[in-house]
Amino acid sequence: MNGLGLPTAQPTVRELREQLALAEACEPISSELQDAKEAYRQALESGDPAAIGAAKERKQAAAHHINETRTWLRREARIAKLQTLIPDLQTQLAEPAWQPKPGWTDEERQARADMEAALAAMEAELPALEEEAAPLRELFGSIPQAGPPIVVEDGSAAVDMPVVKASAKAMKGGR
């Protein structure tokens, strides 16, 4: 229910999956934040100023970390979404059905104008998001990633296998 007591629109399955993926990606950081909050509560109960200060710093660092991670994941998801939406919208606008005709109604003209405005907004948003994402992408690109295992064949693993012939027979009697 919304503030007026009316039912709200239910999220789509895709939106729910995106929310689940974000929650799963942030789960370790979220658990660290919960641990830091609990440590802060315990420090407050103990009354030790040094423990309170350390727990507060830990809690703030964990909160900052999860907020930064969520922002980064949402930005990367938006970039991926724009990279698929922009070509689809360009293709749709290039279709003959969307080419202006003399007999178009005002609604059809407005729909085309809305699509062009949405495309222009997306095309302006994408470079800005990619510019924001560039430093993190560069950082993650500089971290060595574990690659596929390297297999060196020296010929000692050669195996001779017997030749097998397979043939199919038509089944009779429904068996």
Each domain of the chain, given as residue ranges in start order, spans 13-142
Q: Write out the two tokens for 22.
A: 């974000």
Q: Which is more confidently placed, 8 or 72?
A: 72
**Does the structure show a pLDDT above 90 at 102?**
no
Confidence of residue 125 (pLDDT cuts 50, 70, 90): very high
Cα–Cα distance for residue pair 102/105, rounded to 1 Å: 9
What percent of the chain lies above the pLDDT cut of 90? Answer: 33
**Does the structure show a pLDDT above 90 at 120?**
yes
Least confident of 39-43, 130-134, 136-140, 160-164: 160-164
How high is the pLDDT of residue 174?
57
**Does the structure show a pLDDT above 80 at 146?**
no
How high is the pLDDT of residue 9?
79
Least confident of 50-64, 83-97, 161-175: 161-175
Confidence of residue 38 (pLDDT cuts 50, 70, 90): very high
What percent of the chain lies above the pLDDT cut of 70? Answer: 78
